[in-house]
Amino acid sequence: MILVNLGCGPVWHPDWQNFDIQPRPPHVGRMDLRRPLPFHDATVDAVYHSHVLEHLPPATAAQLLRECHRVLRPGGVLRVGVPDLEGVTRAYLLALEAVTGGGDAFLHDWAVAELLDQCVREHSGGLMATLMREATPEQLAHIESRVGGEDARRARLARRERLAELLRGLPAGAQARWLLGFAANQAWLATTEALLAVVAGPRARRQLRVGRFRTSGEVHQWMYDRFSLERSLRAAGFEGVVVREPGESAIPGFGDHGLEMLHGRARKPESLYVEGFRPSPAS
């Protein structure tokens, strides 16, 4: 079977062809999901992407879903995971009721940040990373129940530690090439910002930094609930669209691949998962 895992980040499985905007050779290849998928029509058995669609503008997300439909064989399955707008909103309303009754203001602040921060932040990590650093063990346990322990751990890492984590799995030659490329890119960015500050002033320099970050892929461009995500899949041509539990799938063996579950628990507890299949021409 040809199984394709798009925007996988650090979560991949050798039975899948794994792709991300930041490749991790040899297991993860580079792919820009704003472009057509590099597969022939009707050649793939299953496509999976989790916490990818919300990072694309709605029109680009719709284009990606149509591309998934194109490459799937008749009967092939698309599985999509996104942050659940309904669940995040319900959690906020519960936190609001609790804090107005004397509950923990920190948990209210977290609920607001979970709802809004990744849509509006202007620097990496945003308010959520700050709240994680300030949380007590009890508050952190609540955060991990919402976003998962693995994500919470990564969000607490400093930038230098995240870079070390990225480089650790690469061969020495690849590490050297990556570091040289990174240094050259940083030098070019610093020169560009300095010239812009001279020509247009400090405000323009800050606008450049914010604009560059907000188009880097970290921020959320949209949010989905079960109605809007199901509708999006049907609009792309999928049938039999249903909401699934974490790890539960019509894709053979999916639950054994560890893409959504870790030690029997959901990696991203706040997620919404929806599946649909490409119908046969006769249907």
CB atoms within 10 A of CB 25: 11
Tokens 């929806």 found at? 274
Query: CATH for 3-83+224-277?
Result: 3.40.50.150
Using CB atoms within 10 A of its CB, is residue 213 exposed (0-12), middle (13-18) or buried (19+)?
A: middle
Q: Report residue 23 as tokens.
A: 């490749």
CA atoms within 13 A on the CB side of 120: 8
Tokens 């070390």 found at? 164
| 3 state DSSP class of 277 | strand
Q: What is the DSSP string of 165-216?
A: HHHHTS-HHHHHHHHHHHHHHHHHHHHHHHHHHHHH-HHHHHHHHHHHHHTT
For every one of its 283 residues, what pLDDT tens digit does the chain have, with 9 covering 90 and above? 999 999 999 899 999 999 999 888 888 999 999 999 999 999 999 999 999 999 999 999 999 999 999 999 999 999 999 999 999 999 999 999 999 999 999 999 999 999 999 999 999 999 999 999 999 999 999 999 998 875 555 544 444 555 566 666 667 777 677 667 767 766 766 777 676 676 777 777 777 778 888 888 899 999 999 999 999 999 999 999 999 999 999 999 999 999 999 888 999 999 999 999 999 887 5
Using CB atoms within 10 A of its CB, is residue 185 exposed (0-12), middle (13-18) or buried (19+)?
A: exposed
Residues counted in the chain: 283
Q: What DSSP element (H or E) covers 30?
A: strand 28-30
Q: 130 and 146 in contact (C-beta within 8 Å)? A: no
Q: DSSP assignment, residue 51?
A: S
Nearest to 231 by CA among 80, 87, 118, 104: 80
What pTM did the predictor assign?
A: 0.83
| 3 state DSSP class of 253 | coil
CA atoms within 13 A on the CB side of 265: 12
What is the per-residue pLDDT for 36? 97
Q: What DSSP element (H or E) covers 107?
A: helix 105-120
Q: 255 and 248 in contact (C-beta within 8 Å)? A: yes
